[in-house]
Structure 1
Amino acid sequence: MTVAIKEDTEAAVRWLRTPEAIRERCHALLALAGQGRLKHFALHLERLESAADYVAEVIRSNYPDLDIPYHARWRHFAAGGVDRWAALAADLGELDADAIARIRFDLCVPSVLLDAGAGPDWMFEEPGTHLSIGRSEGLAVASLHAFRAGAFSADPERPLRADASGLERVSASDIAACFQVEPTNPLVGVEGRANLMRALGAALRSRPDLFGDDEPRIGSLYDALKGKTVDGELPARTILAAVIAGFGPIWPSRIALGNENLGDVWRHSGIVADDATNGLVPFHKLSQWLSYSLVEIFEDAGIPVTGLDDLTGLPEYRNGGLFLDLGVLELRDPKLAETALPVDHEAVVEWRALTLALLDRIADPVRARLGKSAAEMPLARVLEGGTWAAGRKIAREKREGGGPPLQVLSDGTVF
């Protein structure tokens, strides 16, 4: 019996880490919303068409030629029209494509993991350009400057690395310095971000198969995944599986099955199952956004990535705010918008799940308005063009400062 229970638990953990599990659970909550059976949100699907109109207009405005890049960290590195990655790459000399890809992994992973919501009052004043940049773009630019200065490398002679020894020594004061944190420039979750970097260093040591056993570094994951190509192509779900397996242990302990920390997985009473997954709703938001960001590295290195739409949309406050602000979703109790909610609150779980499921529902109407197929405009482009940009635009139209319509307490590792 003990063996059977253990095997069932292991199977449950494996399933909860798949895109299929994410979609199944989120669409289950969307179905409950359609039946009027969710406690915190009412669903108005009849407004989805006008939301698709709004998103399509934003895409045409941002990308008149409809040449839309992926929703990835690389867009944020170009905040303010300054292509910072290109400037860094220009200094790399005659490195081959694989060496450049390893450096991009070393830059991208910490940057994405440090991206959880900054809060509305934080800004990064960029040296040189003197641009003042907030939110995700500011976090990206600050993390790139930190990377370039060797913040994640243990070897001063090789600053453009993120290795186990370098990451394990990152302190809260290091994060505060890199991100220019002051009493007048507060950043949400400084300690949580530092803890995440140290946990990342430990995770590299625990998986020599992914990160190498001699000076483990994030960039070695590029080689591990390159070795999993099939006929020269790499399935997107293979990237996500490696990201979750390699970086899963870094997340703060929340919900666990057996000895496995589930990460970005939360409870909702509307989800009923007769196994260990009962009540559980997985999202893996940062892991999926990281996967989208890594896809770009592989394709630039000449390795096509297949099955991109196996991954899901991202349940974060820009996409979620889009559906709230356009009336596709409505809070049953408007007072919930007056206070910051903990991330495990059922209203937040509902909001994130409905957002993810509605991104699936809005993608085809948006494509139809633009005359594009799913192959021409995968979800990663719909997000970038797209729902994320439209969520930011409508937020600015509705609220001074452009904050989200619902506030979520962050420890620096979610959203």
Structure 2
Amino acid sequence: MNQEIISTPITQRNLVAYLRSPIAIRERCQELFAMVLEGNSSYFTCNLDRLGKVADYVIDVMHAEYPDLHIPFHSRWRHFEAGGIERLKDFDRALAHLKPTEKAVAKLDLAILSILLDAGAGSSWVYYEESTGSSFKRSEGLAIASLHMFCQGSFSSDRHQIYCVDARKLQALGESELATGFQVSSENYLVGFSGRLKLLQKLGRVLLSKPEMFGATNPRPGNLVHYLSSKVKNNKLAAASILEALLEGFSDIWPGRLQFDGVNLGDVWSHRSIEDDGFVPFHKLSQWLTYSLLEPLQELGWEITGLDDLTGLPEYRNGGLCIDLGLIEVKRPNVLRSPHPVSSEVIVEWRALTVVMLDRIAAKIREKLDMTSQELPLVKILQGGTWLAGRKIASELRTGGIPPIQIESDGTVF
């Protein structure tokens, strides 16, 4: 991705379409980055002299995890095999009787469902996998819990078609059923549990409202495959087109978000330093979801283009890496002492700086490894990579590996 941001007057664009684009994410984050460099932030400074050190740290993590640098995409599919257990082989065998498109629909059902449940779990929740006798926390635990529930037919209203997520079942999904599947109790607290349940129930209603994207009869999120097929040209599909479809299809599921002209903007927040409308888009979960749909779509023989048009993910592992290694510096110690709402300017700035820094870290890593963006796209650097490095340094610095800045989560953002 060319790091030079070329701005077009906002009056020449449809604002909602613009805010749903990776271009907008980078432009608005760059505005806040410039503000920080000018010394006008109340919360952060940036020490770009640390960029080389951060790149070296990430490269060490990459070599330790992937010695040959054959790195897969940063996607939900990696979490399904946590603990080195090849659960996906069993999953693929279970889907072997399906036609290629039906298999892709089932895989998108799982990926979309699982990622919508992937907001931060907190430090105390644990999922125990009876079949392996292993316990998993955070993203890996959420992934494995959702995989087992999916394979048991917990999100399907048709007992003859269990590998399915459908609108009818999502709307009827009860608290006790989801709590049982995720082993949630007063002793095993999952942050934002009620928010996750409401999100799935809302998803069921949204699926019904968009038959052109998800099907007319008991629609499924995985039916997005059919919608995306219309965007394929010469067997190629742009990554940005996948993100655009996800944001168009799922924008109405997000609770309590900013709106423009009656449209729910999703993972878009406000900052007083952004001129005109003040909006700063991130679309973290939607981009994470886009990355996670790449492999099932490639299995259809589609070539995904423009991978680096998408941005790095502005979440607490990538952002924590930048703070813990001194690339982003906190001006006031009280920023680290108490949790902040997702909508607060301190969190908006932190996430914006993370997007900008991930591009710069990626460029520095490629420079040091003498690799191109085609050989090492951002989605592989995230996997190899910055996310793992953020988790590693957090575990070295703080008990429980908590991020340096605490966030008040409702279970629908991080």
- Is the counterpart of residue 28 in structure 1 residue 31 in structure 2? yes
Looking at structure 2, the residues matched to 37 and 352 of structure 1 have their Cα atoms a distance apart, in angstroms, of 17
Corresponding residue of 1:213: 216
Looking at structure 1, the residues matched to 123 and 332 of structure 2 have their Cα atoms a distance apart, in angstroms, of 24
Corresponding residue of 2:369: 370
SS at match of 1:67: coil
Whether the aligned pair in 2 keeps the contact of 1:244 and 1:287 (CA below 8 Å) is: yes
Question: Following superposition of structure 1 onto structure 2, how do residues 97-246 of structure 1 map, counting pairs within 5 Å?
Answer: 97-246=100-249
Assess, with a 3 A threshold, how the Cα gap between structure 1 residues 215 and 10 changes in structure 2: closer, same or farther.
farther
Whether the aligned pair in 1 keeps the contact of 2:235 and 2:301 (CA below 8 Å) is: no
Letter paired with 1:316: E
- Is the counterpart of residue 37 in structure 1 residue 44 in structure 2? no
Looking at structure 2, the residues matched to 387 and 399 of structure 1 have their Cα atoms a distance apart, in angstroms, of 18
Corresponding residue of 2:291: 292
Corresponding residue of 1:3: none
SS at match of 2:314: coil
Letter paired with 1:283: F
Corresponding residue of 2:332: 333
Q: Please report how far the alpha carbon of residue 36 of structure 1 lies from its aligned counterpart in structure 2 after TM superposition.
A: 1.3
Looking at structure 2, the residues matched to 94 and 266 of structure 1 have their Cα atoms a distance apart, in angstroms, of 44
Letter paired with 1:311: L
Assess, with a 3 A threshold, how the Cα gap between structure 1 residues 9 and 412 changes in structure 2: closer, same or farther.
farther
Whether the aligned pair in 2 keeps the contact of 1:164 and 1:205 (CA below 8 Å) is: yes
SS at match of 1:153: coil
Corresponding residue of 2:96: 93
- Is the counterpart of residue 354 in structure 1 residue 353 in structure 2? yes
What are the superposed Cα offsets for residues 5-43 of structure 1, whole Å, 9 maximum, x if unpaired?
A: xx9799211111111111000011111111111111111
What are the superposed Cα offsets for residues 65-84 of structure 1, whole Å, 9 maximum, x if unpaired?
A: 10000110000000000121
Unpaired stretches in structure 1, ≥5 consecutive residues: 1-6
SS at match of 2:404: coil
Looking at structure 1, the residues matched to 56 and 96 of structure 2 have their Cα atoms a distance apart, in angstroms, of 46
Looking at structure 1, the residues matched to 238 and 63 of structure 2 have their Cα atoms a distance apart, in angstroms, of 30
- Is the counterpart of residue 324 in structure 1 residue 323 in structure 2? yes
Letter paired with 1:179: F
Corresponding residue of 2:5: none
- Is the counterpart of residue 46 in structure 1 residue 73 in structure 2? no
Letter paired with 1:83: E
Whether the aligned pair in 2 keeps the contact of 1:9 and 1:257 (CA below 8 Å) is: no
Q: Please report how far the alpha carbon of residue 206 of structure 1 lies from its aligned counterpart in structure 2 after TM superposition.
A: 1.1
Assess, with a 3 A threshold, how the Cα gap between structure 1 residues 328 and 173 changes in structure 2: closer, same or farther.
same
Whether the aligned pair in 1 keeps the contact of 2:175 and 2:197 (CA below 8 Å) is: yes
Looking at structure 2, the residues matched to 39 and 296 of structure 1 have their Cα atoms a distance apart, in angstroms, of 42
TM-score for both structures, normalised by structure 1: 0.95
Assess, with a 3 A threshold, how the Cα gap between structure 1 residues 183 and 304 changes in structure 2: closer, same or farther.
same
Identity across matched positions, percent: 49
Looking at structure 1, the residues matched to 346 and 54 of structure 2 have their Cα atoms a distance apart, in angstroms, of 22
Corresponding residue of 2:407: 408
Corresponding residue of 2:3: none
Looking at structure 1, the residues matched to 368 and 70 of structure 2 have their Cα atoms a distance apart, in angstroms, of 15
Looking at structure 2, the residues matched to 96 and 65 of structure 1 have their Cα atoms a distance apart, in angstroms, of 34
SS at match of 1:373: coil
Unpaired stretches in structure 2, ≥5 consecutive residues: 1-9
SS at match of 2:399: coil
Looking at structure 2, the residues matched to 204 and 83 of structure 1 have their Cα atoms a distance apart, in angstroms, of 31
Corresponding residue of 1:83: 86
Looking at structure 2, the residues matched to 176 and 155 of structure 1 have their Cα atoms a distance apart, in angstroms, of 21
Looking at structure 2, the residues matched to 392 and 59 of structure 1 have their Cα atoms a distance apart, in angstroms, of 13
Assess, with a 3 A threshold, how the Cα gap between structure 1 residues 14 and 354 changes in structure 2: closer, same or farther.
same
Q: Please report how far the alpha carbon of residue 333 of structure 1 lies from its aligned counterpart in structure 2 after TM superposition.
A: 1.0
Looking at structure 1, the residues matched to 56 and 264 of structure 2 have their Cα atoms a distance apart, in angstroms, of 40
Whether the aligned pair in 2 keeps the contact of 1:265 and 1:281 (CA below 8 Å) is: yes
Answer with 239-248 or 30-39: which moved more. Answer: 30-39
